[in-house]
Structure 1
């Protein structure tokens, strides 16, 4: 059964491009009002105007750098000021880096950990009680196929996404009786700006999917009565992730190291 989100509001981080933009579009298509959060205000405004025009919903723009230490508190304060309560949270904001850890820029590593992990945890903690109390919406956190094994040359990125996967699966269990759909979504290579930020498409593994394909899968899983705690997007990606759990970890590390060299 296709789930409707009419009468609810979805908060989407990293909404100015890629998967975040697609999540906003697909939730709006199902009737949800949306709160769009990212740094690039001009893109958010353009997206908000299109969604309001196409789907007759309300789209709220909040231009904010979520890598700031108090971003979750500031985001909650901004929504409270506007009288907005959210029933769905999509933790999509994040970025990756490729290259040896010893040579990586320390400040940039810190920004990645702050955004991919610390901000995600803080924002989830800020809004999860409301999501659970309402029970009509969803919590989706974007992990990665890189979460399923160590990622040499993307060591910190892979570790942050392994955290997101484990954290979200645990929350799915903690909230299993609430009616809230909780899902860790692990895409593989997806045609977004992710690889522009990474600096090379060499970090891509496997066949590319579109944001529409990835997000459509996520919403389809949320439609299920028994939503799984996590899902890997793409059949080949899902098979690879499953196989990793069946082979010795040292072997998985060696394979990953060759792929990401």
Structure 2
């Protein structure tokens, strides 16, 4: 039995990763701030999938609490982490100059620093064992110019691409998923108006996670679920940046 640790597991893609990994036979370590939601999810997973589920409440913006998650990644017994899903993240719902510095610094810690620190811990454990999977959650927004969220996700994509290259031949893989608009709680929590986007633009969380896990199992470094978002990503990579900046104003 292999064990998967998932950050941001209490909602959205994190919860979907938990269900799909449990259904494929993985024991789980669930990480998020909300103890109640984690405990409820853990009970449901144990009952439905008959897997072992650990609950590890942590705010990844807090260095001391992040250190607890690092400690769990480093734990080799009784259930070493074989799959690490770095999913924790959120939108700020405001432009940079309207967001308090502490809020921006916390978002950077969750979406960038924790990815770096936890990926490092995983590599240190997985490479000597000769196996392991690291999955990071980027975004098509990482190709845009939508404030610090875009910057964070651009970093995640580039970091994972470099990590995947450096891990070749070790038995450990790194995969970044770049979803487009996906139906989760993400937009409501950020205060973004989801109704402003057409129905066809939305992806399901189940499809995004299924595509991600298939790509990770195949050892692919990057995956963008759906043909429409692969086409959009191609355009964003090739359009003049001035055009991309104008497009980004709508988001």
How far did 1:204 drift?
7.4
Residue correspondences, number:
248
TM-score, normalised by the number of residues in structure 1: 0.88
Identify the residue that residue 120 of structure 2 maps to in structure 1.
Answer: 125
SS of residue matched to 2:81: coil
SS of residue matched to 1:87: strand
Identify the residue that residue 4 of structure 1 maps to in structure 2.
Answer: none
Aligned residues of 1:87 and 1:134 also touching (Cα < 8 A): no
Identify the residue that residue 234 of structure 2 maps to in structure 1.
Answer: 242
Give runs of aligned pairs for residues 166-245 of structure 1, distance below 5 A.
166-201=158-193, 207-224=201-218, 227-245=219-237
Give, in whole Å, the separation in 2 of the partners of 1:182 and 1:31: 21
Identify the residue that residue 109 of structure 1 maps to in structure 2.
Answer: 104
SS of residue matched to 1:245: helix
Identify the residue that residue 253 of structure 1 maps to in structure 2.
Answer: 245
| 1:153-191 deviation digits (Å, cap 9, x = unpaired) | xx1111001000000111010112122231101111111
SS of residue matched to 2:63: coil
Give runs of aligned pairs for residues 20-169 of structure 1, distance below 5 A.
20-78=14-72, 80=75, 83-151=78-146, 155-169=147-161
Aligned residues of 1:15 and 1:38 also touching (Cα < 8 A): yes
Aligned residues of 1:36 and 1:62 also touching (Cα < 8 A): yes
Larger displacement relative to structure 2 (16-25 or 79-88): 79-88
Structure 1, unaligned stretches of length 5 or more? 1-6
How far did 1:128 drift?
1.8
| 1:216-253 deviation digits (Å, cap 9, x = unpaired) | 110111232xx321111222111011112222222222
Give, in whole Å, the separation in 2 of the partners of 1:139 and 1:166: 14
Aligned residues of 1:195 and 1:203 also touching (Cα < 8 A): no
SS of residue matched to 2:238: coil
SS of residue matched to 2:85: strand
CA RMSD of aligned residues (A): 2.0
Aligned residues of 1:8 and 1:137 also touching (Cα < 8 A): no
Larger displacement relative to structure 2 (81-90 or 201-210): 201-210
Larger displacement relative to structure 2 (52-61 or 129-138): 129-138
Structure 2, unaligned stretches of length 5 or more? none
